[in-house]
Structure 1
Amino acid sequence: MQSIIHLINSYGYLILFSALTLELIAFPLPGELMMAYCGFLVYQAKMNWIVSIIVASSGTILGITISYCIGSTLGLKFFKKYGSYVHLSIDKLNKTSYWFNSYGKGLLILAYFIPGIRHITGYFSGITKISYKKFAINAYVGAAIWASTFISLGRFLGFGWNKFDVYIKKYIIIGIIIIALILSIIYIYKKHKKNIFLY
């Protein structure tokens, strides 16, 4: 992480954009920590809050779009055969499939907050041929929410940004539960809205 901090200090937005693009293509990079540190730099007035969120969101969007295109082009057979070489094993794909079946396409918003899942949701969306429009609406909104959350958190914590793990473990679970409840309510409403209006 120290080397990434040094690079962010030297090249700022370029490293933020590039690192988040690579992370969403499945490179093992600490996205949340990077964004929290950028939030700290915003706190110090060395970076701009709005620009940081736009750059982070754009890098994330580019990365997940590339993974969507790769998944759509190569298909399930390729990943069954070679997925384990790029950390996309059948077990991970099955786990993602379970989450998608439980929460629908709204998982594309929620997935950014789930380590190990966000890295493969783009591939999975492409493999399962989710339409680009539906993918983009959910994934791009999720990218903006994810980037805004962690950059704002780093800004709020200031010099305590490096303790954000303590806060995130406490609040991320609450956040996931709230988002899951919202998605469940939306799903139930869509599925049963005719019956609801009958009463």
Structure 2
Amino acid sequence: MEELILSFIEFLKQFSYFGLIIALTFEFVPAELVLPLAGFWVYEGDMNYWLAVFAGTLGGTLGPLTLYALGRYGGRPFLIKYGKYVFIKEREINAADRFFEKYGAGVAFFGRFLPGVRTTISVPCGMAKMNVWVFSIYTFIAMFPITAFYIYLGKQFGPQWKDVGAKAEEYMLPVAGIIVTAILLFFVFKKARKWTSV
């Protein structure tokens, strides 16, 4: 199956950055496979790093919107019945449901950093009829550092880009922690400046 997906991604390479966006729009194509390969293309000089990151982030935002729409308009019974055809298992939907119930709308951001719920977290967001713009913004903000990280590792690993997946998972939660801390510090600093200017 992986070889078939790789052939599909290689076919889309002819469309350059647009091909990268298209590849990530299909949720059955793992970003963990596409992005390190894009990093390898950067390594080979076929793509610019930052343009690849932007295209990857855009594709990584459009893809979850399809699952969001399935959750919003198809509902849980539809996904349980037909999800298997796009590699979505019922246990993954259940895990995403529990995560959404526990953490609310913020999962559209935080869920992207967690293996097991990363893809399916879009489904409960849709079923809960979360505002589509809020969902898209949270997803884009989360996907930018993830995309940059995977493409960077693919570039660094070069011809061994296939080894990126296992290595990236080790660092994903710490990366999420750093991002969340930075966001919190930004808002605290902004609030502190507002108080001092009064």
2:10 counterpart of 1:6: yes
The change in CA–CA distance for 1:90 and 1:179 in structure 2 (over 3 A counts) is: farther
What does 1:1-199 align with in structure 2 at a 5 Å threshold? 1=3, 2-4=6-8, 6-7=10-11, 9-23=13-27, 27=28, 29-79=29-79, 82-83=82-83, 86-175=86-175, 178=177, 182=181
AA matched with 2:10: H
Looking at structure 2, the residues matched to 160 and 53 of structure 1 have their Cα atoms a distance apart, in angstroms, of: 20
Structure 2 stretches lacking a partner, 5+ long: 185-198
Residue-by-residue CA offset, 1:52-99 (whole Å, 9 max, x unaligned): 111111112111122222221223343355545555454332211221
Structure 1 stretches lacking a partner, 5+ long: 187-199
Looking at structure 2, the residues matched to 135 and 168 of structure 1 have their Cα atoms a distance apart, in angstroms, of: 24
Deviation (angstroms), 1:9: 4.9
Looking at structure 1, the residues matched to 77 and 13 of structure 2 have their Cα atoms a distance apart, in angstroms, of: 42
AA matched with 1:135: F
Residue-by-residue CA offset, 1:145-185 (whole Å, 9 max, x unaligned): 22122112212333442322342243235445x36985xxx
User: What is the CA RMSD across the aligned residues, in angstroms?
Assistant: 3.0
The change in CA–CA distance for 1:47 and 1:100 in structure 2 (over 3 A counts) is: same
Q: Secondary structure at the match of 2:47?
A: coil
AA matched with 1:17: I
**TM-score using structure 1 length:** 0.73
AA matched with 1:144: F
**TM-score using structure 2 length:** 0.73
The change in CA–CA distance for 1:164 and 1:42 in structure 2 (over 3 A counts) is: same
The answer on whether the counterparts of 1:35 and 1:154 sit within 8 Å (CA) in structure 2 is: yes
AA matched with 1:73: Y
Question: How many residues end up aligned between the 2 structures?
Answer: 180
The change in CA–CA distance for 1:131 and 1:164 in structure 2 (over 3 A counts) is: same
Q: Report the more deviating stretch, 167-176 or 94-103.
A: 167-176
Looking at structure 1, the residues matched to 120 and 33 of structure 2 have their Cα atoms a distance apart, in angstroms, of: 19
